[in-house]
Structure 1
Amino acid sequence: MDLETPPPDLYGRPRADRFFERLTAFGDWYSPALGRPGLRRSPRRAEARGVPPLFLVVTAHRVVAEDVVELRLADPSGGMLPEWQPGARVRLTLPSGRERHYSLCGDPADRHGYRIAVRRVPDGGGGSAEVHDALHVGVRLRVRRPRNGFAFCGEEKVLFLAGGIGVTPLLPMARAAQHAGVDWRLVHTGRSAASLPFTDELRSLDPNRVEIRTDEEHGLPDAAELLARAPRGAAVYVCGPAPMLAAVQRALDASPAVSLHYERFGAAPVLNGRPFTLRLGPGGPELAVPADRSALDVAREARPELPYSCKQGFCGTCVLKVASGTPEHRDRRLTEEQRAAGLMLPCVSRAAEGETLELEV
């Protein structure tokens, strides 16, 4: 069901707004009610020292495409939010305790609200379904301040390639490129026109620079064909499913483009993996981890309540302590001190072939 956004002037007042006071009170009552008996909660991790989290309220929840909802998050008192740049993400702690990262897809100039868009993934870990079904107007959320691992560098020539919901970080980049007078193009691919969000918003930037390409009308996209649209010497920014990213990487050298920036949704394929054994706690079950699967995926089959988010080794949500065995660290988050203390990110880190890792769970 589409819900109307409150009038814009509510966000800009320097004092507390009565509407938001009522909205916050409703959220305080409603959010705990979502913790129904039997719903397992994952542990909530504190923010980095000296960087307090934000506590925001959902002020709009509307459908923007088939199985895609857009949320607007704002300060309950109408205050200004921290600045962010195109490509930034926020981490939401959902009412169940799950933590999920979502790209900001609004306008960085709008300091009174963060916008995200989430596609429902039926066979996912439950986070997208919770966003769709539980994050109604008035729900309050703990939100980590924006962080950017996919920054837009503002090159003179740019090709943006978006696969489905992968358009979310690229939309603010395209807006920034348009304002800066950059020579840019954007291709948005997806299953059908109905499944693609923000089509009208993209075209409003410059209809001559935006191409909407659907499988229904054009067939499955070919990476070399997509890259052929790049101006010579251009930088390519791509966000979408793992197969799309892999295909673009393979085809880049033969294209007019000279550099590639990308963000993937979901875990990357395991490279150079070797089979090992995972033990969940002392005397716990021993689980075989194949060469092509992650320790986290195998562990969650036995313990589905184990928390996770990015599955790429940078958010730290799935961190566990190694009780015995020697891990093979492949993450981009833990410090040497943390690794020496026995911490491990099982979404990407592994062990040597034949090794047995015992994790504290």
Structure 2
Amino acid sequence: MSRSTDQEHELTLHVDALLEPVDGVRVLELRRADGGELPPWTPGAHVDLELDEGLVRQYSLCGSPSDRDRWRVAVLREPAGRGGSSWVHDKLAVGDTVAVRGPRNHFPLVPAPRYVFVAGGIGITPLLPMIAAADAAGADWRLEYGGRSRRSMCFAEELTATYGGRVRLHPQDEVGQLPLGEVLAGAGDDELVYCCGPEPLLRAVEERCADRGPGALHLERFSPREQTDSSGDVAFEVELADSGRVLAVPADTSVLRVLEDAGVNILSSCTEGTCGTCETGVLGGRVDHRDSLLTPEERAAHDVMFVCVSRADPSCPRLVLDL
């Protein structure tokens, strides 16, 4: 069963504005050329931007779902990245067109009476519409927001001006790292934790929330989990349920590559198990999940996989895919 809560669309949008609210962050506002409404989306959703030939990157929608005239995304310049952020910062201009696919939501806001939002750096972006939704619903919530410095913390002034004491800022150059022990110690059984940021923060939050109940912690990763050791990978088969066709997957080849080479039409983007584009239903077999999206409970169901990284469990010679 699909985890995404929004219907995907393929659009060509115009860059209507480029803002630089803090050092190293560029905010894009995207609109239809004809001024028409954009598709609906829900807090936590992201879109794929095709920035150049073969250069596709995922960015969280950080505006308001009620604003159907424009989509807003924020892009952090990452000098050590793979080129997407540099392209946005150095080449994209107002008036340019960008191919956009989405929205897609694998990080939805679950209704709850209380929330703790934990953000690290640019990880604040998917949390912005969640905070607005939680506040509008009358939930009890707080935001713990860490960053290198106040100058680098995008939307910090906007958040504190709007929500006051519910927002606590933790600039590392002033107060050190986020005090996760303090931040999470008071989280009650009815309080959901939502976190987005760099991988060290996510791992630390996971460790501190390990003894909480299922569904209490919700994470979104911008980069893949630590990679699984692939030295022991073995070959297996995938059966396409619609046609009964069986394809061999070698030990050193992804399911996605095998499907593409066989002419199977399947969307993909990040090829790292983080964006969710290649989500595929599984009708039979056990999956060795290697994505950065599924919760432990969802993994245990073995009814969906991300074919760019996940494989058949070593004990399973064949997976039956809903294709």
Normalising by structure 2, report the TM-score: 0.72
Residue 195 of structure 2 is aligned to residue 238 of structure 1: yes
Question: C-alpha root-mean-square deviation of aligned residues, in Å?
Answer: 3.5
Separation in 2, partners of 1:54, 1:83: 13
Separation in 1, partners of 2:200, 2:29: 30
CA contact (8 A) 2:13 2:30 kept: yes
Give the 5 Å matches for 1:22-171.
52-171=9-128
Structure 1 SS opposite 2:109: coil
Q: Which amino acid aligns with 1:105?
A: C
Structure number with greater Rg is 1
Separation in 2, partners of 1:250, 1:78: 46
Separation in 2, partners of 1:329, 1:156: 32
Structure 2 SS opposite 1:123: coil
One of 273, 280, 283 as aligned partner of 1:312: 273
Deviation by residue 1:242-265 (Cα, 9 ceiling, x = unmatched): 111111111125689981011011
Q: Which amino acid aligns with 2:153?
A: L
Q: Which amino acid aligns with 2:108?
A: A
CA contact (8 A) 1:161 1:187 kept: yes
Structure 1 equivalent of residue 141 of structure 2: 184
Structure 2 SS opposite 1:262: strand
Structure 2 equivalent of residue 174 of structure 1: 131
Change (3 A) 1:258 1:266: closer
Separation in 2, partners of 1:199, 1:192: 11
Structure 2 SS opposite 1:243: helix
Separation in 2, partners of 1:257, 1:214: 31
Q: Which amino acid aligns with 1:75?
A: R
Aligned-pair identity (%): 39
Structure 1 SS opposite 2:78: coil
Q: Which amino acid aligns with 1:309?
A: C
Separation in 2, partners of 1:233, 1:258: 10
Size of the aligned set, in residue pairs, is 265
Q: Which amino acid aligns with 1:113?
A: R
Gaps of 5+ in 2: 1-6, 234-251, 255-267, 279-286, 295-301, 315-323
CA contact (8 A) 1:267 1:310 kept: no
Structure 1 equivalent of residue 262 of structure 2: none
CA contact (8 A) 2:44 2:130 kept: yes
Deviation by residue 1:79-134 (Cα, 9 ceiling, x = unmatched): 01001110001111113331111000001110000000010111111011111112
Change (3 A) 1:102 1:313: closer
Change (3 A) 1:119 1:350: farther
Q: Report which stretch shifted further, 225-234 or 201-210.
A: 225-234
Deviation by residue 1:115-171 (Cα, 9 ceiling, x = unmatched): 000101111110111111122101101111211110001210000000100000001
Gaps of 5+ in 1: 1-49, 278-288, 296-306, 318-326, 353-361
Separation in 1, partners of 2:74, 2:125: 7
Normalising by structure 1, report the TM-score: 0.65
CA contact (8 A) 1:68 1:197 kept: yes
Separation in 2, partners of 1:142, 1:274: 34
One of 156, 165, 172 as aligned partner of 1:199: 156
Structure 2 SS opposite 1:206: helix
